[in-house]
Structure 1
Amino acid sequence: MERTLITLTGSSHAALIDRDIAHIARVMRPSLQGDLGGPILPVTYWRKRLHQLLDTGNLSHAQLCTVDSLLLQLDRFEAEPLPVWNAPAPAAAAPAPRPRLATGRHR
């Protein structure tokens, strides 16, 4: 079986980069917020992905601006503590009291 090398034209390469940037923009924040176990993928992973895009050297001005914005979001995520509503509840939190039912008999 013979393999052929697929080369991308400029416009299809730009579209591929656009899709990659859009994907990162869509999933980066939920991945960083993660769950009670912490981030699903760490800041270092996302920073590496964005720098790989920058290293292609073929980004348009709009793509550069978007990647820069995503890198700034990573910087903010590292610099600011999680909002209170994202922090896990203290382990010693007592459960809410159960309501008492009336014990009288009805005839």
Structure 2
Amino acid sequence: MDRPLVTLLGSSQAVLIDRDIAHIARVMRPSLHGDLGGPILPAAYWRKRLYQLLDAGNLSHAQLCAVDSLLLQLDQYQAEPQLAWDALAPASAALFPPPYPASARHTA
């Protein structure tokens, strides 16, 4: 999904960049972890989005630090081996424990 960069002046451009950085920070990790079919959006997509922000120029120090942090997160994600489905917790590892201990069950 390519979005054209809009040239704005001063603070309005900074606000849009801040919002874009915040959006990427919120959705990048869940998108990379995806579902059983793999990532929803690949690391290359997020890297391209972040480089587009850098290419826009005139980023503040805080914005540069935020983009750099997100790029480092992408590097870390790509450096770590991704768990195969078979390596995940077995289905018997329930998220919710039984409401009462097994010893308290009544047998009829």
TM-score (norm 2): 0.71
Moved over 6 A (4+): none
TM-score (norm 1): 0.72
Q: What residue number does 1:34 align with?
A: 34
The RMSD of aligned alpha carbons is: 2.4
Flag the 1:11–1:40 CA change in 2: closer, same or farther, 3 A. same
The equivalences for 1:2-41 within 5 A come to 8-41=8-41
In structure 1, how many angstroms separate the alpha carbons of the residues matched to 2:12 and 2:54? 17
Code of the aligned partner of 2:39:
P
The equivalences for 1:36-75 within 5 A come to 36-75=36-75
Return the offset for 1:33.
Answer: 0.1
Code of the aligned partner of 1:35:
D
Return the offset for 1:8.
Answer: 2.8
Q: How many residues align?
A: 86
Structure 2 alignment gaps of length 5 or more: 1-5, 93-107
Code of the aligned partner of 2:56:
T
In structure 2, how many angstroms separate the alpha carbons of the residues matched to 1:7 and 1:17? 11
Flag the 1:7–1:39 CA change in 2: closer, same or farther, 3 A. closer
In structure 2, how many angstroms separate the alpha carbons of the residues matched to 1:17 and 1:70? 14
Give the share of equivalent positions with the same residue, in percent: 76
* Structure exhibiting the larger radius of gyration computed from Cα positions: 1
